[in-house]
Structure 1
Amino acid sequence: MTMPGRLPEPYAQGGGTNLADVLERVLDKGVVIAGDIRINLLDIELLTVKLRLVVASVDKAKEMGIDWWEDDPALSSRARRNELARENAELRERLAQLEPGRGEEEAP
C-alpha cells in the first residue's frame, strides 16, 4: 500500500516482472527496432540514415539466419585464422608467380 504523496517502489515484491524476466523474454523472442532519418533541404535529399537494431540471444539470432559475427575477423578467432590462411596462400601464389624457378633450385 502506498501513502499519498509517496511514489511506489519500482521493485516491489508483488509488482509484476523484474528486469531479469524482461531481459530473458527479450532475448528469447528477439526485438527489432527500425528507423529512418532523412535530412532534406528544399526537396533535395542531403542525408539518409537507416537504423536497424536487433536484440536477441545468439541462439535466436542463428535461428533467424543472422550469424555475421562468425565470419568477421574482428569478432571471431576462427574467422581471423581463416583470413590469415587465405592471405598466406595468396602470398605464396604471388611469390611463385614472381619467382617461377626458385622452388626447383632449392630442392636437392
Structure 2
Amino acid sequence: MDTVANRGPVVRPSYGPSSTGHEAANLGDILERVLDRGIVIAGDIRVNLLDIELLTVKLRLVIASVDTARELGIDWWKHDPFLSGRDRELVEENRRLRRRLAAIEDRTANDE
C-alpha cells in the first residue's frame, strides 16, 4: 500500500490469492518478459498413409524483441527483399532477364 500526499493510502487491486508469494503480473509485464528473454514454439506435422510419408510440415516460431533476436543471430528481415524494399529491384531484374531470354530464343529459332 502506497500513500499519496494529503489523500491517504492508495489501495492497489488484488487479482486473486497468491499462495506462492508471487505478485500477480499483468499482460504488459508478461509481454515484456517474453520479448526480453524470447520464447520458441516448435512442432512437426506429418501425414502418413500406409507407412508412406506424404507430407511433413515443420513449424518453428520465435517470439522475441528485435534486440533479443539480433543477439541470437536472427536478422532475416534485413535480407528479405519484400521487407527491405528490394522486391521492386528483383521484379525489374526478372523482367530484363525474361526479355533477354526471349531475344536469345528468337535468335536461336531464326538460325535453325
**TM band (smaller chain):** 0.5 to 0.7
Runs of 4+ in 1 over 2 A off after TM superposition: 11-15
Work out whether 1:74 is the aligned partner of 2:82.
Answer: yes
In the aligned structure 1, how far is the partner of 2:87 from the partner of 2:51?
A: 45
In the aligned structure 2, how far is the partner of 1:16 from the partner of 1:76?
A: 40
Work out whether 1:36 is the aligned partner of 2:44.
Answer: yes
AA partner of residue 28 (structure 1): D
Work out whether 1:21 is the aligned partner of 2:24.
Answer: no
- How many Å apart are 1:12 and its aligned residue? 2.9
Question: CA offsets per residue over residues 38-66 of structure 1, 9 Å max, x none?
Answer: 01011000100000000000000000000
AA partner of residue 26 (structure 1): V
Higher normalized strand content (fraction of residues): 2
SS of 2:83's partner is: coil
Segments of 5+ residues of structure 2 without an aligned counterpart are: 1-13, 101-112
- How many Å apart are 1:80 and its aligned residue? 5.4
| Residue number among 12, 15, 25 corresponding to 1:12 in the alignment | 15
Segments of 5+ residues of structure 1 without an aligned counterpart are: 1-10, 96-108
2:106 maps to which residue?
none
AA partner of residue 55 (structure 2): L
SS of 1:75's partner is: helix
SS of 1:26's partner is: helix
Work out whether 1:60 is the aligned partner of 2:68.
Answer: yes
Question: CA offsets per residue over residues 54-101 of structure 1, 9 Å max, x none?
Answer: 000000000000000001121124x558x56xx5xxx7xxx9xxxxxx
